[in-house]
Structure 1
Amino acid sequence: MSNSYENYKPKWQERFSFFDQHGGPGRSEHQQALKALPLGRRLTVHLNFVSLLFWPIHFLVLGLWRAMLSLLGIAILLGTLVAILGLPEVVSRGLGMAVSVLAAMSVNYLYYLKQVRGQNGWNPFAALKKSA
């Protein structure tokens, strides 16, 4: 577990350094430090636009297949419930967008946990809980 990230692209270096300094998204220190950043840097740390559009593929490319399978299972379950309950298509689309936004907000910290801390679990919500 090294604090040297020169083998990573600059965006990942910035994200990893931020997580090292301020912890994960569930911590109040993280939230305060994130609010202090300019909008562009805040978006770089907090959101991943590739995952917003292509989250299953992006998770696989990053080696986060466990979290991807869990999130995909949740998405399929939600879609099935919408179909069984006969809810309007707008509900299905809204839930799909919510899953994509959740993936985009989680992937940076999940990748940090995998690469830096050696944690590659099934929980796609690890980025949202209180962390060290």
Structure 2
Amino acid sequence: MNTTDQVQSRSAYSEKWQQRFSFFDEHGAPNSPTFKPAWLKLPLKQRIKVNANIIAFFFGPIYLFVLGLWKKNLTLIGILLAISIVSEIFYSATNFAYAKQLDLAVGVVINALYARTTNYAYYLKEIKGEQGWNPFKGMRW
């Protein structure tokens, strides 16, 4: 795909996605050495726009299917199910007093994973043509 094709095809995306894609094009994946310094230079609102997806935070499993990121979504759902099963076994075995609070915290962490991984995963799918199972590819933690 040449540059003209990329520019024409990118016009189909919203301004927000175009800005995210341009940032990833210029500075690479979140785990690349040039990403963090460039990201830190952005205003707070731009940092949030590049680094997190608010829709994915609240509607992660549905939103990733809508974006066509079904492989990554199935992986995250599998992680969620595994954590749920292990935590329920733990709660049953120990009669854990703070099960509801821990479940809430785990839910927030899972939602944060969706929010944090969606933008770069969508970039990989739409711009790079990569559609793998690893939802954490290129991420920095």
- TM tier relative to shorter chain: over 0.9
Shift of 1:59: 0.2
Counterpart of 1:38 (choices 37, 43, 55) is 43
C-alpha displacement of 1:66:
0.4
CA–CA separation in structure 1 for the residues paired with 2:56 and 2:103: 19
TM-score, length-scaled by structure 1: 0.93
Gaps of 5+ in 2: none
- Alignment partners' CA distance in 1, 2:110 and 2:130: 22
Moved over 4 A (4+): none
CA contact under 8 A between 1:106 and 1:127: conserved in structure 2?
A: no
Match for residue 53 of structure 1? 58
1:19-74 CA-partner distances (Å, limit 9, x unpaired) = 00000111121111111000111111111000000000110000000000000000
1:108 matches 2:113: no
Percent same amino acid among aligned pairs? 38
| Aligned residues: CA RMSD | 1.2
Aligned residues: 129
Take 2:67 and 2:132, find their aligned partners in 1: how far apart are those partners?
Answer: 13
Q: CA separation of 1:54/1:45 partners in 2, compared to 1, >3 Å: closer, same or farther?
A: same
- Tell me which of 120, 123, 126 is aligned to 2:137: 126
1:21-36 superposed matches below 5 A: 21-36=26-41
Bigger radius of gyration: 2
CA distance in 1, matches of 2:139, 2:110: 14
Match of 2:19, SS state, is: helix
Question: Which residue of structure 2 lines up, in the alignment, with residue 95 of structure 1?
Answer: 106
